Amino acid sequence: MSSRYHDSDCDYSVDAAPYVLGALEESESYREHLTECATCSSQVAELQLVVDTLPTSVPQVTAPAALRHRVLASVRSEAELLNAAGSHIDRAPRRLERWRSRRISLAGAAVAIAVTVAAAVAITTGLSPGAHERVTSAQVAPSIRGAHASLRQTGARAELEVSDMPQPPAGDIYEVWLSRRSASPQPTDALFGVTSSGRGSVNVPGSLHGVQEVLVTSEPRGGSLHPTTPAVLHVVLSA
């Protein structure tokens, strides 16, 4: 049995936080590393205390059924989109040497975890049944029969939801655009796909102040700077 070593400058210490959060892809090999490295083992133990404590240190709020449905639809949509793009698309190459300037300190990791939990609570609370919500139905292009879409606005947050939407053509993705007055539609980084059942959702970034229409077109994967196809959906907002 190999002896444990203590390396205060271990290159793998940056994996402690994602390991505790269950987000580390190579968790099995890291678990083996923990049996040999006292530094990483100590960090994981301390971070686990943070993760275990945070859920009980904030108000417990039951998420509305509508929120759960939208989150699951978004997850399924992203999963199918990644599957269509290939398993390598979301896998970053593991570097043999890590930049020391980008290392995550134990305190920094704890803060990151705290912010994540706090943000989740804020989102859930903000989308509770009592929050002011405005839903605007989208107009669907005649070429897409049976599809439905709506823009849900809660405060400054906006989310586009679609159902019974066909998959975009092979190699394409749906892109969201914002149109203000007589100006050309402006691109956003909101790109999305839909599940096999035609469901999907995407957050519309930025402020909708002054926006007259929210449009969706089918564009080459990665998005475009200018629309290359007619809009398949458009939401008309009051001036």
Per-residue pLDDT of the chain (239 residues), as tens digits, is: 445 555 567 888 888 888 888 878 778 888 888 888 888 888 888 888 777 776 666 665 656 666 666 666 666 666 666 665 554 544 544 443 443 333 444 445 555 555 555 545 444 444 444 457 889 999 999 988 889 999 998 888 899 999 999 999 888 999 999 998 878 899 999 999 898 889 999 999 888 888 999 999 999 988 999 999 999 999 998 75
The answer to whether residue 109 is domain-embedded is yes
Q: Are residues 59 and 107 in the same domain?
A: yes
| Residue-number span of the structural domain to which 184 is assigned | 133-236
Contact 153, 207 (CB under 8 A): no
Q: Are residues 170 and 101 in the same domain?
A: no
Q: Are residues 76 and 57 in the same domain?
A: yes
Could you count the other beta carbons within 10 Å of the beta carbon of residue 89?
11
pTM, 2 dp = 0.50
The answer to whether residue 2 is domain-embedded is no
Q: In the listed set 126, 144, 177, which residue is the last one of a domain according to the structure?
A: 126
Angle at which helices 106-126 and 38-57 cross, to 10°: 20
Q: Are residues 107 and 203 in the same domain?
A: no
Q: Are residues 90 and 53 in the same domain?
A: yes
Domain count, the chain: 2
The answer to whether residue 156 is domain-embedded is yes
